[in-house]
Amino acid sequence: MADKREVKISVKGLKKSFGKLQVLKGIDTEIKAGEVICVIGPSGSGKSTFLRCLNRLEEATDGEILVDGESITAPKADVNKIRRHIGMVFQQFNLFPHYTAKENVMLAPVELKLKTKKEAEEKAIQLLNRVGLSDKADQKPRQLSGGQQQRVAIARALAMEPDIMLFDEPTSALDPEMVCEVLDVMRELAAEGMTMVVVTHEMGFAHDVADRVFFIDEGIIMEQGTPEEVMDNPKNERTQSFLSKVL
């Protein structure tokens, strides 16, 4: 069935260097609408860089990325427009500390004049409700726990009504007891059919939720396939060695 879904993101020969250091050495892949991709791999392997290239937080050195058939890496591509429908969730949450949870969620739709203040506020409350935080709407980020902050950050990204969500190690900065509440929100999102790319160290989550798992090492996708293929029966030696260390 997966094959019949339309291609959402198409990555062709993606390379990225920082100075002399080549972090991505040629990534080719297609991600279909509604697919959940979990990206695993050792730290420094380039998996976060890959994710950050998908919304041009990092500029690709070479190669092309198409979203809905349109190149986002073209020099004339409007990066602000592209980012509107690609939500991003960071390891360090990056909530705006001078705004309340509700204001964090409302900010972008109001500033970009996509919604009136009143509409945005209603939507924000609805989204905070969805991530289980309607009672925290008027709290500042510093009054919230890490898990709560990350859920607000997810709501903030969803406020732009994206059709793709990128997660950059969303639970790595959390205390263990808060990991679940964030993963549960992500699970729901996946079940609702959101196209998701998740860089994660949560192997259980990847195994349960991912449609496909990418194992990235040394700047390339070393192995990819269903969680059963990649995680239970890895063929690549590097994948085997990595999984034996983390599982």
Partner 1 sequence: MNINLIKVFNESHDLLLNGLKMTVQITLLSLIIALVLGIFICLMNISPYRILKVIAKFYIWLIRGTPMLVQAFYFYFAVPQLIQAITGAPFRIDIFTAGVITLSMNAGAYIAEIFRGSIEAVNVGQMEAARSLGLSYGKSMQKIILPQAIRICLPSLVNQFIITLKDSTILYAIGLPEIMNQAKVYVGRTMQSFATYTWVAIFFLVIVTVLSFISKMVERRLNA
Q: What is the smallest separation between the CB atom of 68 and partner 1, expressed in angstroms?
A: 16
Cβ proximity to partner 1, 43 vs 80, nearer residue: 80
Render 48-114 in DSSP notation, one character per residue.
Answer: HHHHHHHTTSS--SEEEEEETTEESSSTT--HHHHHHTEEEE-TT----TTS-HHHHHHHHHHHTTS
Residue among 121, 92, 95, 127 at smallest CA distance from 109: 121
Q: Which of 203, 156, 164 is nearest to 183 (CA)?
A: 203
CB of 57 to partner 1, least distance (A): 6
Q: C-beta of 2: minimal distance to partner 1 in Å? A: 27
Judged by CB, which is closer to partner 1: 92, or 241?
92
**Strand arrangement, sheet containing 36-40:** 86-89, 164-168, 195-199, 36-40, 212-217, 220-225
Residue closer to partner 1, measured from CB, 173 or 243: 173
Between 80 and 244, CB nearer to partner 1:
80
Cα gap 198→38, rounded to integer Å: 5
Residue 23 beta carbon to partner 1: minimum distance, rounded to whole angstroms: 17
Tell the smallest beta-carbon distance from residue 100 to partner 1 (Å): 13
> Strand pairing partners for 165?
87, 196
- Rounded to a whole number of angstroms, the distance between the first and last alpha carbons of the chain is 30
Q: Pick the closer one to partner 1 by CB: 119 or 228.
A: 119
* Shortest Å, Cβ 169 to partner 1: 13
Q: Which is nearer to partner 1, 18 or 228 (CB)?
A: 18
Q: Which residues bind partner 1 (CB under 8 A)?
A: 55, 57, 80-81, 83-84, 86-88, 90, 92, 94-98, 107-108, 111-112, 153, 156-157, 160
